[in-house]
A and B are shown apart, each in its own frame.
Chain A
């Protein structure tokens, strides 16, 4: 990029109502026109401040990885590098609404939005010096620090305190004396006054002190290095080991939790116990929020064991765990399983199982909302582990007005595999939404048993083709001979030939799986297409041949053998295929 060109990011990020500082008519300094060298430096400083401001604005409005934010930071780094190469270091005096370079204003003015000079001045920064060699990471961290300073709670931190933490190598700043600021409070200045008086009184007049008698010391006596008790002093230590200790400590939140649980147990007032409980809840929900399910599981185990050993605190602990297991608390973690947390499903399942007694209602609730595969799998795994979720929790939701809630409950009932669940699924077969009825058929086919089979068979007459297809497939898979008559009734019904090809095909396939020779007269009739008035549709005739191929009884094969000499090419081919299928099946029997 050439030195004078505006970085593309500057144009890209311009927003309505957003003037660039260069256009804002920077106030000129009080000393009239600077000479040309000074003017060159002044221009460079102005340019650097404008780039800083642009990068700051971009960082405020765009996420860190957004091209506009990235480009304007790059541009700022380059501008700084160019400027500092030229003038060595850039010292800016921070005024309430402007930056001065020397005594010339290089940034600021009235009415500028998000004035960074104002932000700095407010927090006690009085000067900034950027030094040659400033690194891109420093530039970027500085800009993001400004953004953070705008967003943090000012009781806790301000720009001065967070800049301090950054420990920049190429950036100096000066801050007002903390003593000079701060609000008035009762007794302000008095402590300091007494301290001053004390100091001067004590230190300045040593001759007045009463020394008393000295205790003797000497070589070999206490206090000397020759005293073996002092060997500890000479032991060397490794600073690496010490800083390692700090890094290897369990994370600070976990230590904090340890302290809180101690306070919970030993706290003497209701207030203390209450604030510890609340803080524990806060920590636990942070863990949940961050997806730290492993640490959370440890913490929950600890609380549960304290609850057992210290019954006096079981109410508080139950309260904490209930809060943790509430739908609102769990929602984000569970649904993030369908996104970035997918691989943490086993850990979350372990945690939820630990919390299951408190969590079952939430899980049922969340299952109602669950859209993704992994989240549903997680909930179902937890709800079906061990003794499983109590049925009433699930069945209570069967009348929910939201179709997908009922659908998910139906799904759960199927997954629970409890034979009792069957009777609750019956109602679902009459649900106005066919998606619920489909799920009910699936669940019933999973459950099995005479009652389930009966109910599935009854779905062959469902008004929705998709449900009928599913029912037919389920019956085929289950190999229900009792269903043959019902399927046949459908196939021979007057409206059947008018149905969708897939349904026709599935019904014949199903019939083939479940029927015996009693169905052959009907099938022969159907494929042969002999009617008084007109021939059967081709789909029906082919379907009948397919069904017989699956039946694979000798009689069916006889019919197929005859059919394979049929006049119609398509029928002939299907008959041969079915015959082969029948032979294969017969051989496997």
Chain B
């Protein structure tokens, strides 16, 4: 449920525009050089706005907390359409550990440009002190940075995604036991873990995505459900859904396959082809999902969405698939998102009934080929830009002779087919390389020359073993 926006005064609109311009300038700076026309115009506009405000009202502080942006302590009201812009802005600041920036009166255009490029072109693992040093070096004196006021988490933030992912597995185990024993599901617990998935996703989408590459033979339902939840929320976030919508989406995606618990395990895991009866049994699982959730008593809006998602997740974009429909004409957005996430995870997971496992690269190819028939093409486009053509977990051979695992799309403008990778075999094991980075001549020093199917499992875990330190 979205809360009503109570106020939209002229000043508010000005602050909103200011944040938009700052966010836009930062994004432009990621891909364009300082003398690029778009970049120049972006910085010019921002400069004028900042001068106007600082000259009339003095130093201007822009800060973030709880995924909201504040100008001089006043929250800037954003509509649904601002969300994506806002998210990218907050992420940029988060990456540096910056909680606030204060622009002082008298800032020069050069300072502003240096500031924008200093922040936008940063390395991923930078921190506030690094950034401050860099800004001093670049003679930026009129922008002061501050640490976040948000309460830190008691635990090590590095291990949080793993804990969240693990909690999902655990809660799915609990759900499984409850359903098999014909007991009431505790959706409160499911909500708690799915909400923390959303929180994590808003903090760092690739940390959780990397964890979806741990494909597991046993407890397949547990990791599959978690993966579909993670992939759906990641996609939903890219689409600009709001936090509460992401919460509902995550819950629905997490529970989409509960109906499989009602299908005999012998059929689910049967190697080879299924006979008609067995196929029919499997095709009933979306209906079983509906049934299981219906019997949970209270039907809140999020449960309704989960029921709808569970029912729709094997119906294709062209309305083929199962269950067969008697009159239903269209699919919900959540249904289409979950279908895509579900299919991608299913294809890229090694299964006993498949002789050759697909690599994530083949899985994304399959998704692209079936855009418009199985999948909503618009969603496919966003999905591919999110995980790239070498999705996390893809094992690639590099032109250097090293073998690496893809972690996420690279930072440069050709990031979709040039991922950030971590070397797992060769000279620099453990080192990360961004294949979209160019050298001084504008060439790519490193390229992908082949894709491996390690151990016929299709992929290799993409997350950094370091992140498991405290787990």
Q: Is B284 an interface residue (CB 8 A)?
A: yes
Separation of A545 and B31 alpha carbons in the complex (Å): 105
CB < 8 Å neighbour of B380 from A132, A171, A188, A232: A232
Separation of A309 and B83 alpha carbons in the complex (Å): 46
Q: Measured between C-beta atoms, what is the minimum distance from A245 to chain B in Å?
A: 5
Q: Measured between C-beta atoms, what is the minimum distance from A85 to chain B in Å?
A: 11
Q: Do residues B389 and A230 form an inter-chain contact, with CB atoms below 8 A? A: yes
> Which of B95-103, B112-120, B128-136, B293-301 makes up part of the contact surface?
B293-301
Interface string of B438-471 (1 = CB under 8 A from A): 0000000001111111111000110101001001
Q: Could you tell me which residues of chain A, from 165 to 205, have a CB within 8 Å of some CB in chain B?
A: 165-172, 174-175, 177-179, 182, 185-192, 194-196, 198-200, 202-204
Contacts of A267 on B, CB cut-off 8 Å?
287, 291
A160 with B192, Cβ < 8 A, contacts A211-B403, A211-B454, A217-B451 known? yes
Q: Could you tell me which residues of chain A, from 226 to 281, have a CB within 8 Å of some CB in chain B?
A: 229-230, 232-235, 237, 239-240, 242-243, 245-247, 249, 252-253, 255-256, 258-263, 265-268, 271-272, 275-276, 278-279
Contacts of A177 on B, CB cut-off 8 Å?
155, 163, 167
Q: Measured between C-beta atoms, what is the minimum distance from A256 to chain B in Å?
A: 5
> Which of B138-146, B265-273, B361-369 makes up part of the contact surface?
B361-369
Contacts of A271 on B, CB cut-off 8 Å?
291
Separation of A25 and B244 alpha carbons in the complex (Å): 40
Separation of A137 and B77 alpha carbons in the complex (Å): 13
A262 with B311, Cβ < 8 A, contacts A196-B471, A252-B305 known? yes
Residue of B nearest to A126 (CB): B154
Q: Is B333 an interface residue (CB 8 A)?
A: yes
Contacts of B214 on A, CB cut-off 8 Å?
195, 198-199, 202-203
Q: Is A216 an interface residue (CB 8 A)?
A: yes
Residue of B nearest to A224 (CB): B417
Q: Is A158 an interface residue (CB 8 A)?
A: yes
Contacts of A175 on B, CB cut-off 8 Å?
192
Q: Do residues A174 and B154 form an inter-chain contact, with CB atoms below 8 A? A: yes
CB < 8 Å neighbour of A199 from B66, B241, B311, B468: B468
Contacts of A212 on B, CB cut-off 8 Å?
452-456
Q: Could you tell me which residues of chain A, from 204 to 221, have a CB within 8 Å of some CB in chain B?
A: 204, 206-207, 209-218
Contacts of A249 on B, CB cut-off 8 Å?
332-333
Separation of A200 and B468 alpha carbons in the complex (Å): 8
Separation of A212 and B403 alpha carbons in the complex (Å): 12
Q: Do residues B468 and A153 form an inter-chain contact, with CB atoms below 8 A? A: no
A182 with B151, Cβ < 8 A, contacts A232-B381, A237-B381, A266-B287 known? no
Q: Do residues B333 and A259 form an inter-chain contact, with CB atoms below 8 A? A: no
Q: Measured between C-beta atoms, what is the minimum distance from B47 to chain A in Å?
A: 27
A239 with B188, Cβ < 8 A, contacts A211-B452, A223-B417, A225-B414 known? no
Q: Do residues A206 and B429 form an inter-chain contact, with CB atoms below 8 A? A: yes
Q: Do residues A155 and B154 form an inter-chain contact, with CB atoms below 8 A? A: no
Q: Is B125 an interface residue (CB 8 A)?
A: no
Q: Do residues A137 and B6 form an inter-chain contact, with CB atoms below 8 A? A: yes
Q: Do residues B403 and A223 form an inter-chain contact, with CB atoms below 8 A? A: no
Residue of B nearest to A267 (CB): B287
Candidate in A200, A224, A271 with the most chain B CB atoms within 10 angstroms: A224
Separation of A229 and B368 alpha carbons in the complex (Å): 8
Q: Is A310 an interface residue (CB 8 A)?
A: yes
Separation of A170 and B64 alpha carbons in the complex (Å): 11
Contacts of A223 on B, CB cut-off 8 Å?
361, 365, 389-390, 417, 448, 451
Candidate in B150, B170, B186, B327 with the most chain A CB atoms within 10 angstroms: B170
Q: Do residues B326 and A266 form an inter-chain contact, with CB atoms below 8 A? A: yes
Contacts of A461 on B, CB cut-off 8 Å?
none
Q: Do residues B468 and A259 form an inter-chain contact, with CB atoms below 8 A? A: no
Q: Do residues A182 and B189 form an inter-chain contact, with CB atoms below 8 A? A: yes
A164 with B365, Cβ < 8 A, contacts A209-B455, A275-B295 known? no
Separation of A178 and B174 alpha carbons in the complex (Å): 13
Question: What range describes how many residues of B lie at the interface?
Answer: 35 or more
Q: Measured between C-beta atoms, what is the minimum distance from B333 to chain A in Å?
A: 5
Contacts of A137 on B, CB cut-off 8 Å?
3-4, 6
Q: Do residues A246 and B245 form an inter-chain contact, with CB atoms below 8 A? A: yes
CB < 8 Å neighbour of B384 from A91, A179, A215, A233: A233
Q: Is B431 an interface residue (CB 8 A)?
A: no
Interface string of A101-143 (1 = CB under 8 A from B): 0000000000000000000000010010101110101000100
Q: Could you tell me which residues of chain B, from 181 to 219, have a CB within 8 Å of some CB in chain A?
A: 184-189, 191-193, 195-196, 214, 216, 218-219
Question: What range describes how many residues of A lie at the interface?
Answer: 35 or more
Q: Do residues B195 and A164 form an inter-chain contact, with CB atoms below 8 A? A: yes
A217 with B311, Cβ < 8 A, contacts A199-B468, A243-B241, A255-B332 known? no
Q: Do residues A194 and B381 form an inter-chain contact, with CB atoms below 8 A? A: no
Q: Do residues B192 and A279 form an inter-chain contact, with CB atoms below 8 A? A: no
Interface string of B412-453 (1 = CB under 8 A from A): 001011000000110001000000000000000001111111
Q: Measured between C-beta atoms, what is the minimum distance from A264 to chain B in Å?
A: 9
Q: Do residues A225 and B294 form an inter-chain contact, with CB atoms below 8 A? A: no
Q: Do residues A158 and B188 form an inter-chain contact, with CB atoms below 8 A? A: yes
Q: Measured between C-beta atoms, what is the minimum distance from B379 to chain A in Å?
A: 9
Q: Could you tell me which residues of chain B, from 45 to 77, have a CB within 8 Å of some CB in chain A?
A: 65-68, 70, 73-75
Q: Do residues B371 and A232 form an inter-chain contact, with CB atoms below 8 A? A: yes
Contacts of B392 on A, CB cut-off 8 Å?
none
Contacts of A188 on B, CB cut-off 8 Å?
170, 173-174
Contacts of A225 on B, CB cut-off 8 Å?
389, 414, 416-417
Q: Could you tell me which residues of chain B, from 387 to 405, have a CB within 8 Å of some CB in chain A?
A: 389-390, 395-397, 403, 405
Q: Is A154 an interface residue (CB 8 A)?
A: yes
Separation of A587 and B369 alpha carbons in the complex (Å): 93
Separation of A492 and B67 alpha carbons in the complex (Å): 93
Q: Measured between C-beta atoms, what is the minimum distance from A63 to chain B in Å?
A: 19
Contacts of B169 on A, CB cut-off 8 Å?
191-192, 195
A191 with B84, Cβ < 8 A, contacts A203-B461, A266-B324 known? no
Q: Measured between C-beta atoms, what is the minimum distance from A148 to chain B in Å?
A: 12
Q: Measured between C-beta atoms, what is the minimum distance from A286 to chain B in Å?
A: 9
Contacts of B294 on A, CB cut-off 8 Å?
275-276, 278-279
Q: Is B240 an interface residue (CB 8 A)?
A: yes
Contacts of A157 on B, CB cut-off 8 Å?
187-188, 191, 300
Q: Do residues B75 and A215 form an inter-chain contact, with CB atoms below 8 A? A: no
Q: Could you tell me which residues of chain A, from 294 to 351, have a CB within 8 Å of some CB in chain B?
A: 302, 306, 309-310
Q: Is B385 an interface residue (CB 8 A)?
A: yes
Q: Do residues B166 and A194 form an inter-chain contact, with CB atoms below 8 A? A: no
Residue of B nearest to A91 (CB): B151
Separation of A202 and B287 alpha carbons in the complex (Å): 36
Separation of A302 and B329 alpha carbons in the complex (Å): 13
Separation of A224 and B414 alpha carbons in the complex (Å): 10
Q: Do residues B451 and A214 form an inter-chain contact, with CB atoms below 8 A? A: yes
Residue of B nearest to A162 (CB): B191
CB < 8 Å neighbour of A210 from B73, B184, B454: B454
Q: Is B40 an interface residue (CB 8 A)?
A: no
Interface string of B232-245 (1 = CB under 8 A from A): 00000001111111
Separation of A309 and B327 alpha carbons in the complex (Å): 11
Q: Do residues B239 and A242 form an inter-chain contact, with CB atoms below 8 A? A: yes
20 A–B pairs (Cβ distance < 8 Å), ordered by A: A124-B192, A127-B151, A135-B75, A156-B187, A182-B174, A191-B169, A207-B429, A210-B454, A211-B454, A214-B396, A218-B449, A230-B368, A233-B368, A237-B239, A239-B84, A246-B245, A249-B333, A252-B308, A267-B291, A306-B326
The 8 closest A-B pairs by CB, nearest first: A214-B450, A239-B240, A206-B424, A178-B192, A169-B68, A191-B173, A240-B81, A161-B191
Known: A218-B447, A237-B381, A279-B294. 10 other contacts (CB 8 A): A135-B75, A154-B188, A179-B163, A186-B177, A206-B405, A212-B453, A239-B84, A259-B308, A261-B326, A309-B326
Q: Residues of A with Cβ closer than 8 Å to B?
A: 89, 91, 124, 127, 129, 131-133, 135, 137, 141, 153-158, 160-161, 164-172, 174-175, 177-179, 182, 185-192, 194-196, 198-200, 202-204, 206-207, 209-218, 222-225, 229-230, 232-235, 237, 239-240, 242-243, 245-247, 249, 252-253, 255-256, 258-263, 265-268, 271-272, 275-276, 278-279, 282, 302, 306, 309-310
